Amino acid sequence: MPKHIMRLMVLVAAAAVAGFSAKTYFTDKSYYRYGHYRGDSVAEIASDTPRFRGNAYCKSCHEKQYAAWAGSPHNKPSEGRHVQCEVCHGPVGLHPAREGVPPSFDERLALGAKHVSFGAQDGPPGKLPARKDQTECIQCHEAMPGRPAAQRQVELAAHAGTAPCVSCHDPHAPKISFSGMTDKPKGNAAAGKVLSANCAACHGPAGASTNPAWPNLAGQHAAYLITALQAFKSGARPNEMMAGMAAGLSDADMENLAAYFSGRSCKVSGADKAKVSLGKKRSASCALCHGPAGVSPNPAWPDLAGQNDAYLGATLKSFKDGGRSHPVMSSVAKTLSDADIDNLAAFYASANCK
Amino acid sequence: MESDTSEAKKAEPGSALRRNFLRAIGAGVACAGVWMNDPLRAATPAEEAAPPDIPGYDWRKHKWAFGVDATRCIGCLRCVEACKAENGVTQDAHHFRTWVERYVYLEGDEHARVDSQSDPGNIAASGSQQAFRFDNRYASAPVEKAFFVPKLCNHCTHPACVQVCPTGATYQTPDGVVLIDHSYCIGCQYCVQACPYGAREFNHAMGVTDKCTWCYHRITKGLQPACVEVCPVEARVFGDRNDPDSPISRFIRNNRVSVLKPQTGNAPNVFYAGIDKEVS
């Protein structure tokens, strides 16, 4: 064979050997194991750690919240509804350890548009708070074309304005059960009558106040009276006079007093008719909680019917200017003008309280 | 014949040499071909080789599929947020492994008005690119029909993206999932172009293509994909078609399901109920 042909063949062979060696060297061992890809990559992808871990993991510590949720409309698998813990609280990761907890909503905002790493993070033990403003709830419950009719939806403006949903609804058990709440006082009315001597100077012997600036107590919901006394005692509702009066009351005393006053019959004081009719028109936004005629369907919220107009007006003004604060009432009161407040006070003062 | 050749040989001495040379080259090429192809021929099909080393999981025993019930979807976008958190998808309004579209027909409309969570109006409603919400732009409009459609990778039986990948970075597993090996992806984005569903996104930070894996790291551990896990209304269904009692088998059996763009021949494995012809 001529020399130049031999050279050519040697060159071709050398190139083939070099090419094959390079291919063998650079191709991963697991390539072609299952097909035209790197076989080991399958197990690598499968080895990632799940961040959403399901309800059972949450339940192991947060049993009380789990129980409340389990019996609520948020857990109705038979109707295809299953709003698990991580839907609102976000992925659990390695919570409670800080390390490996995926960033919370607020942290994600701070991170900005970055590829999020789930490595160790600085800071306190990882907490998983759900958002407490409306956004968490209205993500599913804002009335919107396209949502199926079976989905519970509310018109935000008509339902509660901008008040946070959690001020009335417990997100774990969001349904407010009016029938389940009893207004039957637990306390002893007779014992309450004895104690009530201390209250009589201002609130009258049977709960009919001697001065329109002070509230009538007769016929008020027992549950509300107890809440109010507790708030005075703890300082949550600042009032010098009442703080002193409530300081000496035990829980049992409060129940007895509430039983006594809630059992007394109320009387209507009456007010300017023109203001009453204006107040009635403005009362739509109060009706949801306090009832259309000022008689609240829920014993946790006060009846307004028959209350003194001076007291009602002063209370609304104090919610408005921040003297008293309440998640719902503070925001509602800010929408009222001074004239609105006058009219509303007149309307409720003249409403039938029975 | 014989004599002809021998005569021809004698007549042209160089022809025998040329013939031998060509024979040698032919044999050489054939041998080289066999030799080079050997690894390909030796490679056993995926069903025969030992399955990948995933504890407690055998990919020969499953055939995954996904269902979307558009009649149940409320457009809350928890799935989109969950997917991003579970898979570390870029936290902005341009990168999604799964997304939700809203189809709205106003009175007299022939075609649907379509928007998704990355629409500027919806981003303005959520207030950030890290949380997602549909705005209520049709609240007082004369809406004739409206519905939400969750979308994700269809994990096609004949995936066009796998066919065009030049490096073998994307592939189909025997259990019916299309995955991406990010260490082999060169970022050429042929697959992004090839996918008829726009299911693939390009991760600019890492220079690789990314897409839904049906949470392969979850389903191989017996969990549901993150989007299915958080869906509060069971609009997303996932399961094993080998099991006639799995949620997906029931879903396909009990609904009039369809797939997106069947005419492309990709044979998707995400089945939809309650969508209309405008959805593709």
Which stretches of chain A are assigned E, i.e. beta strand?
A: 75-76, 81-82
Across-strand partners of B105?
A: B145
Q: Give the residue ranges of DSSP H helices in B43-140.
A: 78-87, 120-126
**pLDDT tens figures, B127-161:** 888 889 999 999 999 999 999 999 999 999 999 99
pLDDT-based confidence at residue B30 (cuts at 50, 70, 90) = low
Q: To which residue do tokens 């499953």 refer? A: B62
Which among A127, A156, A126 has a CA at the least distance from the CA of A140?
A156
Query: C-alpha distances in angstroms, B69 versus A128, A141, B38, B73?
Result: 30, 19, 48, 7
- CA distance linking residue A212 with residue A204, whole number of Å: 11
pLDDT, residue B220, reads 97
- CA distance linking residue B257 with residue B269, whole number of Å: 11
Q: To which residue do tokens 């732009």 refer? A: B137
pLDDT, residue B155, reads 97
Partner-chain residue, chosen from A37, A54, A74, that has the shortest CB–CB distance to B181: A37
pLDDT, residue A116, reads 39
B129 contacts chain A (CB < 8 A): yes
> Between residues 237 and 276 of chain B, which touch chain A (CB distance below 8 Å)?
none
Encoded amino acid at A277, one letter? S
A20 and B35: CB-CB below 8 Å?
A: yes
Sign of torsion, CA A170 A173 A175 A178? negative
Find the angle CA(B191)-CA(B193)-CA(B197) to the nearest 5 degrees: 90
- CA distance linking residue A318 with residue A309, whole number of Å: 14
B130 and A105: CB-CB below 8 Å?
A: yes
pLDDT-based confidence at residue B9 (cuts at 50, 70, 90) = very low
- Residues of chain A in contact with residue B46, where contact means CB-CB under 8 angstroms, are 34-35
- Residues of chain B in contact with residue A44, where contact means CB-CB under 8 angstroms, are 181
Instruction: Name residues whose C-beta falls within 8 Å of residue B18's C-beta, 6 or more positions apart in sequence.
Output: none
Partner-chain residue, chosen from B53, B130, B233, that has the shortest CB–CB distance to A109: B130
Helix (H, G, I), strand (E, B) or coil at B146: strand
- CA distance linking residue B26 with residue B260, whole number of Å: 50
Contact A168, A186 (CB under 8 A): no
Encoded amino acid at B16, one letter? A
Count Cβ atoms below 10 Å from residue B256 Cβ, excluding itself: 8
Architecture per CATH, B60-155+213-273: 2-Layer Sandwich (3.30)
State both tokens at A337: 């003008």
Distance of CA A84 to the CA centre of its chain: 16
Report phi then psi at B148, rounded to 5: -110, 145
- CA distance linking residue A189 with residue A257, whole number of Å: 7
Instruction: Name residues whose C-beta falls within 8 Å of residue B90's C-beta, 6 or more positions apart in sequence.
Output: A113, A114, A115, B203, B204, B205
Contact A316, A345 (CB under 8 A): yes
**A21: exposed, middle or buried (Cβ count in 10 Å: 0-12, 13-18, 19+):** exposed
**Largest CA-CA distance found in chain B, in angstroms, rounded:** 100
pLDDT, residue A30, reads 92
B91 and A80: CB-CB below 8 Å?
A: no
Contact A349, A312 (CB under 8 A): yes
% of chain B at pLDDT higher than 70: 88
Distance (Å) from the C-alpha of residue B83 to the closest C-alpha of chain A?
10
Count Cβ atoms below 10 Å from residue A211 Cβ, excluding itself: 12
pLDDT, residue A108, reads 53
Encoded amino acid at A5, one letter? I
pLDDT in tens, chain A (354 residues): 899 999 999 999 999 999 999 999 999 899 999 999 999 999 999 998 888 999 999 999 899 889 999 999 999 999 889 999 999 988 888 777 766 566 555 555 554 433 333 333 434 456 787 887 888 899 999 999 999 999 999 998 888 777 788 877 888 888 876 544 556 777 888 888 888 888 988 898 888 888 888 999 988 988 889 888 988 988 888 888 898 889 889 989 998 999 899 888 887 777 788 888 888 888 887 887 888 888 887 787 899 988 988 999 999 999 988 888 776 787 788 888 999 999 999 999 888 876
pLDDT, residue B90, reads 86
**pLDDT tens figures, B79-90:** 999 999 899 888
Q: To which residue do tokens 């299952």 refer? A: A34
Partner-chain residue, chosen from A35, A48, A113, that has the shortest CB–CB distance to B217: A48
Mutate to test the interface with B, among A6, A9, A45 (most CBs of B within 10 A): A45
State both tokens at B133: 């919400």
State both tokens at B186: 């060169």
B168 and A31: CB-CB below 8 Å?
A: yes
Query: C-alpha distances in angstroms, A178 versus A157, A183, A297, A300, B84?
Result: 23, 10, 7, 10, 40
**A62: exposed, middle or buried (Cβ count in 10 Å: 0-12, 13-18, 19+):** middle
Sign of torsion, CA A58 A62 A67 A71? negative
- CA distance linking residue B197 with residue B154, whole number of Å: 8
- CA distance linking residue A36 with residue A30, whole number of Å: 10
**pLDDT tens figures, B182-195:** 999 999 999 999 99
Q: Which CATH class, in words, describes the domain spanning A273-350?
A: mainly alpha
Distance (Å) from the C-alpha of residue A93 to the closest C-alpha of chain B?
9
Distance of CA B200 to the CA centre of its chain: 8
pLDDT of B42 above 50:
no
Count Cβ atoms below 10 Å from residue B187 Cβ, excluding itself: 14
Which stretches of A153-263 are assigned E, i.e. beta strand?
A: none
B91 and A115: CB-CB below 8 Å?
A: yes
Q: To which residue do tokens 């379509």 refer? A: B114
The domain ranges of chain B are 2-42, 60-155+213-273
Per the model's pLDDT, the better-predicted residue between B74 and A327 turns out to be B74
**pLDDT tens figures, B63-73:** 999 999 999 99
State both tokens at A38: 């790197």
pLDDT, residue B3, reads 47
- CATH fold of A189-263, please? Cytochrome Bc1 Complex; Chain D, domain 2 (1.10.760)
Domain with CATH 1.10.760.10 in chain A: 189-263, 273-350
Helix (H, G, I), strand (E, B) or coil at B21: helix
- CA distance linking residue A235 with residue A221, whole number of Å: 21
Nearest chain A residue to B84, by CA = A116
